[in-house]
Structure 1
Amino acid sequence: MNEEPLMESVTSAVLGVTDFGPHIDLFCGELGFEVANEGVVREADAARLWGDGVGDVETRLLTAAGARTGRIHLLKVADPVAPAEHPHTLDLGLAGLNLYTRDIEASHDRLVAVGHPWTTAPSTYEVPLGDTVVSVTEGFCFGPDGVDVVFVQPASARGTEAWSADPLRPYTELTSVVCHVPDFEAELRFWGPEGLGLSARYDVTFSSPGLEAMAELPEGTVLRLAFVTGAGGGTTRIEMIHVADNVRGVDRRPAQRPARDLGHTGWSVRTRDVEAAVARAEETGGRVSCRPFDAVTPLHGAARLAVVDTPNGISVELWQPS
């Protein structure tokens, strides 16, 4: 096994949209992202990536202060399979997009005023960290097309590329992409040292009344949470959760397919060796839906692309710059 990891971090979250305008208004107008590129993924390439029948797919690439991870891929969905719905924390599949804010109360007031409601006002709760506990203040905001944006004001923020580039920015790039998986161990193995080379640097089981209030969870909910990240840089972590006793809501995974469905539908991951990444994904329980091929797209430039599903059915696009 090579010592150098196959990947550093999640490059981008993939969002299906009916109209670019509301997302540009939120992410660029309010949260400080920029449209770094735009264009069309042509039908032949789109069919290989996302299946027959999607046609040409219009796209926008959003970045925050040029950060190389924590980006957003917007895919315009011409004929959504299902109406947009906001996932709940108990629902299986992809959930929120997390980013840091310097002032969560100001974020709440401003976004509610411009038409983006929150499930509740920001809430502070404690989570264990080794032999101590740390306080986190968060709030769920409803974005367009069923996108959940989770704003986090941590007691001690870890470094991010956007805040390093521009310390006065109110917001960062995406700091986490969240999924609720039924088979936690299989997902950890897929992403971990045996698979794509990341590791769980924080893996804890806990309950918290503050979290229950913020996320609208039943009283006494016990949650397992792991942050899966790489050693070589990149801001965006995979935030993997599992609720004890298999308490579950709706299984959102069948309606979370890129270019076919709305909302948070997948992840894009840059790798140094796409063939090796695909092989490792298969060895650790992934399913390949698109073998590596060469293409030029507005989202990747010239690259070698592939698509795999994790053991829990999350769509992951792997790409290696040419």
Structure 2
Amino acid sequence: MNIRILFILIVFLNSCKSSVEKIKPEIKPVSQSVYASGIIKSQDQYQAYATVNGIIEQLFVTEGDTVKKGQAILRVSNDVQQLNTENARLAANFNDIAANQGKLNEAASVIDLSRNKMKNDSLLFFRQKNLWEQRVGTKVELEQRELAYQNSKNTYNSAIIRYNDLERQLSFASSQAKKNLFISQSLARDFTLKSEMNGIVYSLNKKKGELVSPQTPVAVIGDADNFILEMQVDEYDILMVKNGLKVLVKLDSYKDKVFEAKVTRINPLMDERSKTFLVEAEFVDLPERLFPNITFEASILVQSKTKAMIIPRNYLLNDSMVLKVNGDTVLVKTGLKDYQKIEIISGITEQDELIKP
């Protein structure tokens, strides 16, 4: 009876041993990558906001339209602002230097008359002075001539000052009126929302007759041909990510294809809520068709080797040991790894046969 039990036990152990999974290390390429997920955005994609409150008077585009930089997207009703602009234009015309040239000409004529009178009184004064030196005439006549000369001289100087003041006042009024017109025209332009770039209107959130405000986006506009991959990378992996690294991208819209991209920008500020960093990449081989907000998964290749001794990761015990067929547990030094394979740097050879823990 004991012999029969022993025989059954030996058969059982042999069958278990034969069913254990066994492998040998292989020399293959290996790469280490960082997992990331995110969404695709159009190059320079932005949300367009109206800068004023009001009712949409007219829409110039629809979703999917191609627009040029500076092209009008919509116009907000601005009847009051148009009246203000017209009033500012009238004021600018009224205060224009050319329109007030007559006042300057009149002031210049007063200067000419004052100058002529001053010259005449000057001649009479010096003539009377010469006569007085020859003891001809009276001192009272000399003093009267001198007083008349001084009065005409002061009148001439006053005329020049009044002319300069008038010219300065007219110039100030003209400049101020033109500035007010410019401000009014700028405010009037705010009622027309224009595109900031050449691109496509991906979204238009308002209809004619609806209310718009500076707090609510009106449209989403972006580049038609260039796209950015925005990835979220965990804080534990961010130190391995650098600009220029290769990225393998798998899009939900292209299930059986993998596209190549490269890292172009790393945002240095971590999102405190998600504990991730924003990393941007650009396609090397662009898919045939793309749309903003498409989701994707990516692997950022941080290191790679063309020849490395590798084993499956599930043959590693406690991340540092392997189990040989003879039952020995061996400490190994590991290197690069991905989700399935891991490099063994030392501890075993290619001839060692391993069993799965």
Query: Do both share a fold (TM > 0.5)?
Result: no
Structure 1 or 2, whichever has the larger Rg, is 2
Give 1 or 2: higher helix fraction: 2
Q: Which structure exhibits the higher relative contact order, with contacts defined as CA atoms closer than 8 Å and separated by 6 or more residues?
A: 2
Normalised to the residue count of structure 1, the TM-score between the two structures is: 0.19
User: TM-score, normalised to structure 2's length?
Assistant: 0.17
Q: Which has the higher strand share?
A: 1
